[in-house]
C-alpha cells in the first residue's frame, strides 16, 4: 500500500500555523514590555540643556547659521524681541506664517528663548 501524499503537507501546514500562533503570542507580550520600557526612558532623555543642540530643530527653516532660509534670520532676533516674546513664538508659533507651534518642548523653549534673546 502507498501512503497518502497529502499527509506530509498537511502536517507541515499544521506545524507552521501552530508556530505562527506561538510566535504571535510571544511577540504581543514582548511588545507590551518594550512599550512600557520606551515610555520611561523617553521621559528621562528628551530634555536637552544645550541651546546649540536644541537649535538643531530650527536649522531646517532658519538655516545652519540661523542666517535665514525659508524662515527669517535669527542672528539678531534679540534686538527685535525680548525673551518672553521669543518664548511665546516658539511655543505658540505665528499664525499665517511658516512658524509652527510646539517645535520643541516647553522646557527646551525656555532655554532656547534665553539663548536667542542674547543674539543682538
Q: Binding site residues, as ranges?
A: 58, 61-62, 99
CA-based diameter of the chain, in Å? Answer: 97
Q: For the chain, what is the total number of helices (H) and then of strands (E)?
A: 5, 0
Judge contact between 90 and 113, C-beta under 8 A.
yes
Integer Cα distance of 80 and 60 in angstroms: 22
Annotated binding residues for heme c: 58, 61-62, 99
Amino acid at each position: 500500500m502507498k501512503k497518502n501524499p497529502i499527509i506530509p503537507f498537511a502536517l507541515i501546514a499544521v506545524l507552521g500555523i501552530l508556530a505562527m500562533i506561538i510566535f504571535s503570542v510571544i511577540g504581543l507580550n514582548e511588545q507590551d514590555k518594550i512599550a512600557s520600557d520606551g515610555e520611561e526612558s523617553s521621559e528621562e532623555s528628551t530634555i536637552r540643556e544645550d541651546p546649540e543642540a536644541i537649535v538643531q530643530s530650527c536649522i531646517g527653516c532658519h538655516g545652519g547659521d540661523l542666517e535665514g532660509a525659508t524662515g527669517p534670520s535669527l542672528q539678531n532676533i534679540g534686538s527685535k524681541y525680548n525673551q518672553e516674546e521669543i518664548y511665546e513664538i516658539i511655543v505658540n508659533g505665528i499664525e499665517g506664517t511658516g512658524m509652527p507651534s510646539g517645535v520643541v518642548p516647553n522646557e527646551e523653549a525656555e532655554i532656547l528663548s534665553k539663548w536667542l534673546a542674547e543674539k543682538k
